[in-house]
Structure 1
Amino acid sequence: MSLRQRPVSTEPAPPKEDSVPAKEKLAPPVPPKSASSLWILLAAVGISALVYFASNSFITGGSLDYLAPYALCSSDSSKVYTVDAQNSQTQCILIDNGYIANTGTLEEVKLHWKTKVAGTSPSELQIRYTPPGSIVVPGLSDSHAHLLEYGASRELALEGTKDIQETVARVKKYILANPEIQRNTSTYVLGGGWDHTVWPTTRWPTAADLDSDPVLRGRPIILQSKDCHALWVSSKVMEISGPFPNVVEGGVIFRDDSGQPNGMFLDNAQDIIFQPALTDGDLLRRFSIAVRDVVAVGLTSVHDAGLNPASLKFFSKQAELNKLPIRIYGMTFFDENGEYWGNTTKPIIDAANGRLNARSVKIFADGALRTSGAALYEPYADDPTTTGAMRITSEVLHHWLPLFLRDGWQVNVHAIGDRANGIVLDVFEASLKGINISASRPRLEHAQIITQADRERLGKLGVIASIQPTHATSDMWYAQDRLGPERVKNLYAFRSIINSGARIALGSDFPVESPNPLTGFYAAITRLSADGESPHGSDGWFPEERLTRQEALRGMTIDPAYASFTESTLGSLEPGKRADFVILSQDIMTIDPDQVLTTKVIATVIDGKPVYGQF
């Protein structure tokens, strides 16, 4: 995904108040009108949970004091999934001062509290039970996402439009619904999420499509594609951004019959489009939207895949102010034309009580499959004129990667095509000689199309595959047309990657996909769309590449913790680790797969305190 982030120095809006102090809890997301019935159901689940807690809690007084020791126990025997090395299940977890003090049966945690904790705490032990049928799992992580871009995408969301005309109409509706934008034709209109692969046309959209509407004509409009590897812009934006070079290395400028840019810019060509600096208020609003939504779906940690200096400064400022409501693992954006900073910049480790870490660098090797920019060994099946493009040369990679590894930085490389993955693994193989792999933990971000030989090499080298299961279920409808019947077997080969001995970490790449980790869990174990379909039928798309439920749960808990150097404090519910956990309304480890997506988040908890829901 391409990154367009700016700094912000103000603080997030204060959360709404409820039974949990405002400083301890975020307000839940405002439900979209189109999903009112779903949110009524969610509210009902939440009310039922509260009623159950009120009638079944054994505490000495009033509401639960999250600062005092308390035990959270499963009402259905051992339904706390610890995700330890043995994948154990237990009845209770004992929380003390934001950490897990003990796990076990109710009697075991009571005994531990009496012998180890009670002497330091004057209060009686508070005990709460989860609702019947619910489970507790470690805090869920997204190993590859973009927080600020997600917030931006929710303001003018174009995902789901069925053709160019409907997309233009949605932009028009947005302008007419915002009087300030409507009055000022010089205000930039920014949106994202359009997906040409689902439109009934083979052509890309152009500036002329935007300019055809009198409300849009003459306005600066920039619309990001679903995969964030293409910009669709208006004539006004091209006028402001030009003149344009004839060729952009690692990018494409689409042109009309007369040779003039037509409004479509791919991969590195996006960088030549002028975009105004966002205000602090803009970025604050986007960050607040993103945080509100991710905690509502059970995410406690997000690996933000590409922080430029300005956005890193923003997150660092929030950390200094103790205003990071979730954990962020940042990947610093790489600029091959800039000066080397690996030996002059110190990694950020456990800032703001473990809320911010930034000890890795993010490098783009190629583009995306959706926009035919992924670098392939052989031409695209549906466009034999191209093999995609590398956004960086192997010579540059061979120069920079050893430097970052030498200076203690994790190196995370975006690689999608088989040629891009092969080239990057060549560089890793050469650069990792003499390097402690457990100390460096290099990652392939996406690792989408990998040959069998390179999958085996991935495992031997110890490179982590940061993968996105919902990309597989989104792309499966057009993938074979693009790659052909044989090469497509190397696409999203998750089971084969694990069988090679490689570690994985699961994510979504939101806003490209939904931030809901349960959609990734479902996609990983079924290889089916949300409505239970696939090009290969109800058994799933290449069902032999499915993950087990245990692998999927570990892939969004302890595996991301390892991939971010935090496995000693996060990723499992074990004594001594931080009390990050999620209460889910159903047991996703045992229910029928087609019921997984009906599961609700009852509470999301960080450092023992709810940031969404309550218990």
Structure 2
Amino acid sequence: MSKSSTSPKVVNKTWSPTVKSWILSSIAAAFVVSGWFFDPYDTLLSTNSYILCSESNNIYTVDEFKPRVECISIMGSTIVDTGSFGTRSITCSLQEAQLELTQTFKAEVTARHLSRNGLSLYLPSWASRIIAPKVFTVDPKSIVVPGLADAHAHILEYGFMMELSLATTSSVEDVIQRVKDYILAHPDVMNDKTRWIEGMGWDQTKWAGAQFPTAADLNKDPLLQGRPISLSRVDVHAKWVSPRVLELMGELPDKVDGGSIIRDADGKPTGIFVDHAMELIPTPEWTEDRMTGFFDTAMRDALAHGLTSIHDAMAFPEHIMFFKQKADEGKLPNRLYLMGHVKSGNYWGAQIPHLIDYGKQGRLNVRSVKLVTDGALGSWGAALIEPYSDKKDFKGLILTPPKELASLVHQFWKDNFQVNIHCIGDYANKVTLDIFEDIIGNYGGNATEWRPRIEHAQVMTLDDLHRLGKLGVLASVQPTHATSDMAYAETRLGPERIKGAYAYQTLLQVSHQNILPLGSDFPVEGINPLLGFYAAIARIYVDGTSPHGTTGWYPNEKLTRAQALKGMTLDAAYAAFAEKEIGSLTPGKKSDFVVFDHDIMTVPFADILKAKVSATVIDGKVVYGAL
């Protein structure tokens, strides 16, 4: 992108004496103005006052009154105007030389921009037109959209996974090779067999046979033998540990409430621990230095992909204090909306502070909590009303008993916390809706003010899909979960139950607020928000295929591009009580926006993921790339 400019044009035109006099006086006065106003104006511009334009009208505002505009005007951290522009040239001949004077008029934007800056108080109208604001124009093929939000993610966990990512592994052997490469690349780990090795991202459903691995698998290679190794499944609802870890754990309980210890035919632990059983594994706590490294990695990658706002879906008290310190230091490069969480069945609201627009930059908010009802579909942990279609004697795991969950939700509501609950299976969703309905119907809960959220809303009965909308409960969904799970989801759920699963268009239509916030659940899925955009509108793999062909998996549940963009901007802002400050390019809101080098709103599906971020802007300042 480059600054806009207008080339002089020679126009053979005879001007009246009045016009000639006006032009000559303007030229003369410009020398005076340059001394009086240009320097202060440059100072004003240094505080982020400028206009961004797209000659192809490719600024998508997500503002229903002006959905597409040519220009937005930025003053400091705020959008002050949006509109269009036009140009004209003025040329005259003098006695001894031809003077070319080209003026560019930004019809809707520039005059109001100057007025807001106060320059119009001191300059005549002709001078205001000459001294126009600094203008940046994007390439005609580019697109400008509001800053993108991820309505469900895990910030520090993303940095953790990137240390040893097991994503894209296609077999146990692949995982072993990744672990070996990690050891060989880290001499401190190589030379100390007591150092824990932790990784994340394996998914047995993508391997031949789709069976859980075992601890013995992590003892086959001499380099791995005797080392404490703990590898989290991609959904973080199961861990796979080495024989050395089993030795350190000692005797294990026969049962774990809300969890499973997978055992072989002889009753011996295989090395797979699901949900609450993972808490038995004695992995070391994260140090502040490690958290800083995780944070830096996540922020770097988030900004590079156009994320300006992130809802962290499980912020433990120590994580909140870490983020709070960053906010105090003015070192939050992104807007963070944290959902507090404590692993306890007893009320823990006193451990979670209320923070609104907190910190030097005003970018940290804590006003919600995250509760967990069940596990994940990929590890058979999602709680179902009827048994799994491929595991006839099992209905999944309830991680928080219904009575305990109800007690917690009621108390958090009384203490003015937004309550966001992880629900995957149809039973988990039913239990949660029962609790929300009780508070809204019998205790005076106002869904519009409280904004309770179901995180995932992944498998629901058709009745509960409509009940959710009627109650005004928000469904916070992750479109890439549909494309990640579509190879096995119907095998798990059967042909009838699948009709209420990953039902994004239905969830949007039943919402009386017309709101469907979208996220990724990174690092469970990729951090690039275009992956979610693509999955939402296409419901196909990145190679263009799906179990139902190239038209997409259950294509009736696709979102339109406009719906998906709104879900990643304004709807996500609403879910965080921030729709008046961010989420659309509307005058009065924060100047958060992203420039992509391809128009994701019009290019073929196959080209969406080719789009790259040219610039990410927060509070009017470029935090990634360049204008």
TM-score in same-fold range (> 0.5): yes
Residue 492, structure 1, aligned to residue 502, structure 2: yes
Pick closer, same or farther for the CA change 1:446–1:424 going to 2, 3 Å.
Answer: same
Quote the residue 2:97 is aligned against: none
Query: Cα distance, 1:234 vs. partner?
Result: 1.0
Deviations 1:325-372 (A, max 9, x none): 101100001433444325x75411101233110110100000000111
Matched-pair identity in %: 46
**Corresponding residue SS for 1:264:** strand
Instruction: Answer whether contact 2:356 2:365 (CA < 8 A) is retained.
Output: yes
Quote the residue 1:366 is aligned against: 374
Instruction: Answer whether contact 1:334 1:361 (CA < 8 A) is retained.
Output: no
Q: Counterparts in 2 of 1:22-421, with a 5 A limit?
A: 49=1, 52-53=2-3, 67-76=47-56, 78-86=57-65, 88-105=67-84, 106-119=106-119, 125-341=133-349, 346-352=353-359, 353-421=361-429
Pick closer, same or farther for the CA change 1:56–1:326 going to 2, 3 Å.
Answer: farther
**Corresponding residue SS for 2:495:** coil
Instruction: Answer whether contact 1:64 1:126 (CA < 8 A) is retained.
Output: no
Quote the residue 1:33 is aligned against: none
Query: Cα distance, 1:593 vs. partner?
Result: 2.2
Q: Which runs of 5+ in 2 are unaligned?
A: 9-33, 85-105, 123-130
Instruction: Answer whether contact 1:143 1:303 (CA < 8 A) is retained.
Output: yes
**Corresponding residue SS for 1:376:** coil
**Corresponding residue SS for 2:217:** helix
Query: Cα distance, 1:272 vs. partner?
Result: 1.4
Q: Counterparts in 2 of 1:430-469, with a 5 A limit?
A: 430-433=438-441, 434-469=444-479
Deviations 1:92-123 (A, max 9, x none): 11111111111112321111022222349999
Residue 587, structure 1, aligned to residue 615, structure 2: no
Query: Cα distance, 1:64 vs. partner?
Result: 11
Query: Cα distance, 1:271 vs. partner?
Result: 1.2
Query: Cα distance, 1:282 vs. partner?
Result: 1.2
- State the alpha-carbon separation in 2 of the partners of residues 86 and 206 from structure 1: 57
Quote the residue 2:15 is aligned against: none
Which stretch shifts more, 329-338 or 155-164?
329-338
Quote the residue 2:26 is aligned against: none
TM-score (norm 1): 0.88
Instruction: Answer whether contact 2:480 2:520 (CA < 8 A) is retained.
Output: yes
Query: Cα distance, 1:465 vs. partner?
Result: 0.4
Residue 554, structure 1, aligned to residue 566, structure 2: yes
**Corresponding residue SS for 1:445:** strand
**Corresponding residue SS for 1:595:** helix
Pick closer, same or farther for the CA change 1:397–1:168 going to 2, 3 Å.
Answer: same
TM-score (norm 2): 0.87
- State the alpha-carbon separation in 2 of the partners of residues 476 and 120 from structure 1: 59
Pick closer, same or farther for the CA change 1:124–1:67 going to 2, 3 Å.
Answer: farther
Query: Cα distance, 1:588 vs. partner?
Result: 1.5
Quote the residue 2:590 is aligned against: 578
Quote the residue 1:11 is aligned against: none
**Corresponding residue SS for 2:582:** coil
Give the aligned residue type for 1:553.
L
Pick closer, same or farther for the CA change 1:337–1:393 going to 2, 3 Å.
Answer: closer
**Corresponding residue SS for 1:519:** helix
- State the alpha-carbon separation in 2 of the partners of residues 521 and 501 from structure 1: 20
Quote the residue 1:475 is aligned against: 485
Pick closer, same or farther for the CA change 1:508–1:56 going to 2, 3 Å.
Answer: farther
Query: Cα distance, 1:63 vs. partner?
Result: 12
Larger Rg over CA atoms: 2
Q: Which runs of 5+ in 1 are unaligned?
A: 1-48
Pick closer, same or farther for the CA change 1:283–1:121 going to 2, 3 Å.
Answer: farther
Deviations 1:297-336 (A, max 9, x none): 1000000001111111100111111111101100001433
Query: Cα distance, 1:56 vs. partner?
Result: 7.5
Give the aligned residue type for 2:63.
D
Deviations 1:370-415 (A, max 9, x none): 1110001111111112111111111011211111111110000000
Deviations 1:245-273 (A, max 9, x none): 21111100012333222210001111111
Give the aligned residue type for 2:47.
L
Instruction: Answer whether contact 1:66 1:609 (CA < 8 A) is retained.
Output: no
Quote the residue 1:20 is aligned against: none
**Corresponding residue SS for 2:108:** helix
Instruction: Answer whether contact 2:345 2:404 (CA < 8 A) is retained.
Output: no
Pick closer, same or farther for the CA change 1:120–1:143 going to 2, 3 Å.
Answer: farther
- State the alpha-carbon separation in 2 of the partners of residues 347 and 120 from structure 1: 43
Query: Cα distance, 1:462 vs. partner?
Result: 0.5
- State the alpha-carbon separation in 2 of the partners of residues 427 and 395 from structure 1: 9
Deviations 1:118-172 (A, max 9, x none): 3499996211101121111100000000011111111111111111122112111
Instruction: Answer whether contact 1:57 1:127 (CA < 8 A) is retained.
Output: no
Instruction: Answer whether contact 2:616 2:625 (CA < 8 A) is retained.
Output: yes
Query: Cα distance, 1:54 vs. partner?
Result: 7.9
Which stretch shifts more, 133-142 or 86-95?
86-95
1:540 pairs with one of 552, 555, 558: 552
**Corresponding residue SS for 1:354:** coil
Pick closer, same or farther for the CA change 1:339–1:498 going to 2, 3 Å.
Answer: closer
What is the number of equivalent residue pairs in this alignment?
Answer: 563
Give the aligned residue type for 2:370.
K
Give the aligned residue type for 2:55.
S
- State the alpha-carbon separation in 2 of the partners of residues 57 and 488 from structure 1: 60
Quote the residue 1:8 is aligned against: none
**Corresponding residue SS for 2:393:** coil
Instruction: Answer whether contact 2:315 2:338 (CA < 8 A) is retained.
Output: yes
Query: Cα distance, 1:243 vs. partner?
Result: 3.0
Instruction: Answer whether contact 1:508 1:515 (CA < 8 A) is retained.
Output: yes
Deviations 1:484-515 (A, max 9, x none): 12211211011111121253100000011111
Q: Which has the higher contact order (CA 8 A, sep 6+)?
A: 1
Give the aligned residue type for 2:453.
R
Instruction: Answer whether contact 1:398 1:431 (CA < 8 A) is retained.
Output: no
**Corresponding residue SS for 2:378:** coil
Pick closer, same or farther for the CA change 1:175–1:426 going to 2, 3 Å.
Answer: same
- State the alpha-carbon separation in 2 of the partners of residues 167 and 422 from structure 1: 37
